[in-house]
Amino acid sequence: MSVKRVAFVLPGLGRVQRGAETAFLEIARNMAAWPDIEVELFGTGEETPEGLKTHSVGYISRERFEKWPSLPFFRNEYAYEELTFTWNLRRAGVYDASRFDATVSCTFPHVNTFLSRRKQAGNPVSIFVTQNGDWMCRARHREYRLFDCDGLVCINPEYYERNKDAYPTVLIPNGTDPDFFTPDCSESVPAEVRIEHDGPVVVMASAMIRSKRVAEAIDAVALIPNACLVVAGDGPDRAAIAARAEQKLPGRHRLLGSVKRHLMPHIFRQADAFLHMSQEEPFGIVYLEAGASGLPIVCHDSEISRWIMGDCAEFVDTSDVPCVAAALQNVIRQPRGAALASDMRERIIADWSWAAQAAKYRQFLYQLLGEPAPEQASHPQELMSV
């Protein structure tokens, strides 16, 4: 049996645990469970997932670039950070294209350009995942004309319909681990994420950037008597959000900053509801993580959120702050909230596991390589236990 070698390339791997990093790590971990797949990770962190070979290269953190100008190829602080990562990846010599059958990435422009421009006879196929949006795949002006890939993974139906005629394209959503994110746990809550509040607790897991609408979430929770808002996440708006929370929710808010993934289930299990205010979300892994943890979800009403959650959430127009507050009160410690949470967990267990999504990545990889995928047991864990 020929083993296929796959490189996952993302600057934040091993260092931060945002949505894209979580998705790549879980897909890589579950793909590596198949005996015909070998995986290596290329990032900037020192955390090494068990069983996965990880390469860490130098970088300059995006926080250093938050006030730098927006330019072509450098639209935001993430692009500046990505360039420093790509430069060091090239300079360190740890990535040898000839060793891999495929690369998986999701950042543009620098990583995508580096990987796709190295395409020569015998070099790996380049798989791009729309974790951060699909604008780079569709735009045909300025630096976006340089975008290229051999295969495109679209994480929602909207992206798939827009791009299916331009590239070899497949629809593969994100997932979660319902055995890790679970409502029940006998472990004590670590002190750093212990929430001590005598009243309803609303939790958000969100970057502190304008599009996530954390400021409006503060306004909504302020309308609920004695409710506490807990935010896990960081970003350039941290100071403004802290000031607003102190003004609107004095004594009943906690801004936790970046939180390690293994602590998130503890946070979810202490809350009464999960709130997500973003109106343009490519996917929203946090929906699945919160739902698997047994939380009723209040979020913006969109085609993508309804595709993920069906009828298992409270959908609202998050531009209407009083409406958001009313929706939260409708699910907090109410029969409707308990029913939504139960239905959502059942939905996740049935259709949204990481193992199921990794199997689709494996199938797409063989399709791009022009080979039939070897017949294996339906679940890779069965193979690992033999």
Residue pLDDT, tens place only, 134-178: 999 998 888 889 999 999 999 999 999 999 999 999 999 999 999
Report which of 234, 243, 331, 318 is spatially closest to residue 276, judged by C-alpha positions. Answer: 318
| Terminal alpha carbon distance of the chain | 17
Is residue 359 situated within a structural domain?
yes
- 85 and 148 part of one domain: yes
- How many domains in the chain? 2
Q: How confident is the model at residue 119 (pLDDT cuts 50, 70, 90)?
A: low
- 154 and 249 part of one domain: no
Q: How confident is the model at residue 238 (pLDDT cuts 50, 70, 90)?
A: very high
pLDDT of residue 213: 96
What are the distances in angstroms from CA 379 to CA 30, 34, 181, 358, 360? 10, 9, 20, 10, 12
pLDDT of residue 175: 94
Summarize the confidence of residues 275-288 as an average pLDDT. 90
Residue 218, judged by CB atoms within 10 A of its CB (0-12, 13-18, 19+), counts as: buried
Is residue 68 situated within a structural domain?
yes
- 218 and 150 part of one domain: no
- 9 and 49 part of one domain: yes
- 65 and 102 part of one domain: yes
Summarize the confidence of residues 186-206 as an average pLDDT. 93
Indicate whether 351 pLDDT > 90: no
Higher pLDDT, residue 62 or 316:
316
Is residue 317 situated within a structural domain?
yes
pLDDT of residue 385: 30
Is residue 217 situated within a structural domain?
yes
pLDDT of residue 376: 64
pLDDT of residue 214: 97
- 27 and 167 part of one domain: yes
pLDDT of residue 382: 39
Indicate whether 1 pLDDT > 70: no
- 272 and 123 part of one domain: no
- 239 and 302 part of one domain: yes
User: 216 lies in which domain range?
Assistant: 191-350
Indicate whether 379 pLDDT > 60: no
Indicate whether 50 pLDDT > 80: no
- 341 and 358 part of one domain: no
Q: How confident is the model at residue 41 (pLDDT cuts 50, 70, 90)?
A: very high
Q: How confident is the model at residue 360 (pLDDT cuts 50, 70, 90)?
A: very high
Q: How confident is the model at residue 231 (pLDDT cuts 50, 70, 90)?
A: very high
Report which of 365, 366, 381, 380 is spatially closest to residue 8, judged by C-alpha positions. Answer: 365
pLDDT of residue 117: 72
Summarize the confidence of residues 296-317 as an average pLDDT. 96
Q: Give the CATH number, domain containing residue 108.
A: 3.40.50.2000
pLDDT of residue 120: 60
Q: How confident is the model at residue 275 (pLDDT cuts 50, 70, 90)?
A: very high
Is residue 89 situated within a structural domain?
yes
- 165 and 304 part of one domain: no
pLDDT of residue 143: 87
Percentage of residues in the chain with pLDDT exceeding 70?
96
Summarize the confidence of residues 33-48 as an average pLDDT. 92
- 129 and 238 part of one domain: no
Q: Where are the beta strands (DSSP E) in 62-132?
A: 102-105, 125-129
Is residue 239 situated within a structural domain?
yes
The per-residue pLDDT of the chain, averaged, comes to 91
Is residue 185 situated within a structural domain?
no
- 152 and 23 part of one domain: yes
| CA dihedral angle for residue 336, residue 223, residue 190, residue 183, rounded to 10 degrees | 10
The tokens for 93 are: 């010599």
Is residue 84 situated within a structural domain?
yes
CA atoms within 13 A on the CB side of 248: 21
**Prediction pTM value:** 0.80
The tokens for 352 are: 């949204």
pLDDT of residue 383: 38
